[in-house]
Amino acid sequence: MMIRCIAVDDEPLAVKKMASYIEKIPFLELVAECRSAFEAMNVMKDYSIQLLFIDINMPDLNGMDFVKSLANKPYIVFTTAYSDYAVEGFQVDAVDYLLKPIAFNSVLKAANKVKNLLELTTNKQKESKTTVTNHLFVKSDYKMIRIELDDIKYIESQHEYIKIHTTNSKPVLTQLSLKAIEEQLPTEQFMRVHRSYIVSLKRIALVDRNRIVFDGNVYIPISEPYREAFQKYIDKNFV
């Protein structure tokens, strides 16, 4: 299990140090280093983030207010030089509250807490599933359209909309974020390979350098943040 996370701190040395700690932990994937809550906000629009290491005292928008503003919170670990916010931090369900200077062991301990919580949640979800969902419904032009998961080739982000490309009909356009639909798709069948694309792994017939080719003339780029995970999938199925 890889846990996607970002480090947020307005102090350059502090965010670099946290990033170096994250990179030492094998089950953490550092998606971005952010110097403000606004940078973090932009990253979280494009990526499904599971863990947030965030400072509290930052200019313009502090870390506590930013966390409170999130509708769908990832796991939160506050990193700060002040103990004043500790009680408030746990009131927003923070996993941990680390006081600077922060040692690597403290970060590892917090990361392990998140890993255990995610594994527990995943196991509960598996236990509660009595049937396998093989389709989804999306709203398009005031209609609810059923799409079989096996028919999806790839999904493309277009600002506030996504376009679902299938094997047997014209693309379906629906007002939904790529992140939202990604969370509904089975990870064993679909993979995000770019900030704007999710592909069906079973529909991949050709990979040309760092591009996936569909129908001979559609080239989907594999961007740097997703390249390692995609390469692991290729290596696993390589003969």
199-231: pLDDT as tens digits:
999 999 899 989 999 988 899 999 988 988 899
pLDDT at 190 over 90: yes
pLDDT at 124 over 70: no
pLDDT at 132 over 60: no
The predicted pLDDT at position 209 comes to: 86
Walk across the sheet containing 75-80 and list its strands: 28-34, 3-8, 51-54, 75-80, 96-99
SS (H, E, C) 148-177: EHHHEEEEEEECCEEEEEECCCCCEEECCC
pLDDT at 130 over 50: no
The predicted pLDDT at position 127 comes to: 58
The predicted pLDDT at position 118 comes to: 86
The set of residues, in sequence order, having a beta carbon less than 8 Å from that of 93 and lying 6+ positions away, is 73, 76
78-92, 173-187, 195-209: segment of lowest average pLDDT? 78-92
Tell me how far apart the terminal alpha carbons of the chain are, to the nearest angstrom.
24
The set of residues, in sequence order, having a beta carbon less than 8 Å from that of 115 and lying 6+ positions away, is 1, 3, 27
Q: Would you say 156 and 197 are in contact if contact means Cβ atoms under 8 Å apart?
A: yes
The predicted pLDDT at position 126 comes to: 58
- What's the average model confidence in pLDDT over 75-89? 83
Band (pLDDT 50/70/90 cuts) for residue 129 is very low
Band (pLDDT 50/70/90 cuts) for residue 82 is confident
- What's the average model confidence in pLDDT over 72-79? 92
What is residue 111's three-state secondary structure? helix
> CATH homologous superfamily for 3-128?
Response regulator (3.40.50.2300)
Band (pLDDT 50/70/90 cuts) for residue 162 is very high
* Percent over 70 (pLDDT), the chain: 94
Domain boundaries, the chain: 3-128, 135-236
CATH architecture of 135-236: Beta Barrel (2.40)
- What's the average model confidence in pLDDT over 189-197? 93
How many angstroms separate the CA atoms of 106 and 109, rounded? 5
Structure tokens at 168: 């047997």
Task: Return the half-sphere exposure (C-beta side, CA atoms, 13 A cut-off) of residue 217.
Answer: 0
The predicted pLDDT at position 27 comes to: 95
**Cβ atoms within 10 Å of 231's Cβ, excluding its own:** 14
